[in-house]
Amino acid sequence: MEKQEQARAYLERDPLGNMDMLGPLNRGILEVVACREDGVLAYNGPGEVYMLAADSLEAAQALCRDVKEMDLVATHSWETVPYLCQRYGLDKWNRCTQAAYLRKEPLPMPEGIQVRQLGEESFQVILDNYQAFTDPDYIHGRIRDGVMHGAVENGQVMGFIGMHAEGSVGLLQVLPAYQRRGVATALMACMTNWFLERGWTPFSQIFEGNTASTELHKKVGWTLCPQDMFWVRKQKG
């Protein structure tokens, strides 16, 4: 069995929990680095992130044996976090809930809210308002790839959403003046449908403590994975 097919067979044992790897693998943007019956290590080149799913710490260690450096890793078990931090000098981690839209039916768009693709003219409003991180080059890249969408009223951006480089839905932000008007719901519906139009399963990760995002995902019919996953990286600066 080819390594890619072996990896797909392992990941499909838990499609929801592994959607961050299975989705990009099916799109052809995930390189399988190592694969065993009890785990997969892959590299998502567009997102510049290693992705690890393994049944045990021992399996994870075996999968990582030949990889000398990692700066950013998405791993699916807590027991691998200390190992990755110690081996690769990583010092920051975030617990997340994986979510995916598993139905095939498009979501209805709320009436009265226009959502369209955003271009470079919207760069500054995204940079100034996205709260998770500030990286101008990354935002330029997302706009250049045509994956940023915004809710617009009278020419003003009320909120925006996009697809991260590794393939997940994210970059969701509603500007303060336009909150509690259904903008976030419209943006999530738009991005969900944008994925479905391309034959992709929409997925995302919700950082621990982001109750508003959790409730939004539930509201629009996404499914939340009961098992946590973790982003592990080097602290900048």
Does one domain contain both 144 and 170?
yes
Whether 221 is covered by a domain: the verdict is: no
Whether 132 is covered by a domain: the verdict is: yes
3-class DSSP assignment, residue 98: strand
CB count in 10 Å sphere of residue 78: 13
Whether 38 is covered by a domain: the verdict is: yes
* pLDDT score at 1: 57
Of 98, 128, 156, the residue that ends a domain is 98
What is the SS3 string spanning 153-195? ECCEEEEEEEECCCCCEEEEEECHHHCCCCHHHHHHHHHHHHH
Does one domain contain both 9 and 94?
yes
Whether 222 is covered by a domain: the verdict is: no
Question: Which residue, 15, 13, 68, 74, is CA-closest to 42?
Answer: 74
Does one domain contain both 92 and 122?
no
* pLDDT score at 120: 97
> Which CATH number fits the domain that encloses residue 141?
3.40.630.30
Q: For residue 198, what are the contacts with CB-CB under 8 A and spacing of at least 6?
A: none
131 φ/ψ angles, rounded to the nearest 5 degrees: -95, -15
Q: Are 168 and 205 in contact (CB under 8 A)?
A: yes
**Total tally of structural domains belonging to the chain:** 2
Q: What's the rounded Cα separation, in Å, for the pair 43 and 20?
A: 12
Whether 69 is covered by a domain: the verdict is: yes
Whether 103 is covered by a domain: the verdict is: no
- pTM, two decimals, is 0.93
* pLDDT score at 131: 81
56 φ/ψ angles, rounded to the nearest 5 degrees: -155, 165
* pLDDT score at 150: 98
Does one domain contain both 10 and 48?
yes
Looking at 66-122, list the stretches that DSSP marks H as alpha helix, in order from N- to C-terminal side. 80-88
Q: Are strands 156-163 and 49-54 parallel, antiparallel or unpaired?
A: unpaired
> Could you list the pLDDT tens digit for every one of the 237 residues in the chain?
589 999 999 999 999 999 999 999 999 999 999 999 999 999 999 999 999 999 999 999 999 999 999 999 999 999 999 999 999 999 999 999 999 999 999 999 988 899 999 999 999 999 999 987 778 999 999 999 999 999 999 989 999 999 999 999 999 999 999 999 999 999 999 999 999 999 999 999 999 999 999 999 999 999 999 999 999 998 865
CA dihedral in degrees (124, 117, 216, 97; nearest 10)? -80
Domain, as residue range, for 126: 114-200
Whether 216 is covered by a domain: the verdict is: no
* pLDDT score at 236: 66
Does one domain contain both 76 and 161?
no
* pLDDT score at 114: 94
* pLDDT score at 235: 80
Token reading at 33:
């680095």
* pLDDT score at 93: 96
Does one domain contain both 91 and 8?
yes
Whether 65 is covered by a domain: the verdict is: yes
* pLDDT score at 133: 76
Does one domain contain both 26 and 51?
yes
Does one domain contain both 63 and 147?
no
Q: Are 127 and 134 in contact (CB under 8 A)?
A: yes
pLDDT tens-digit series, residues 42-74:
999 999 999 999 999 999 999 999 999 999 999
Q: Are 34 and 41 in contact (CB under 8 A)?
A: yes
232 φ/ψ angles, rounded to the nearest 5 degrees: -125, 135
Does one domain contain both 88 and 42?
yes
Q: Are 194 and 201 in contact (CB under 8 A)?
A: no
Token reading at 193:
């449908």
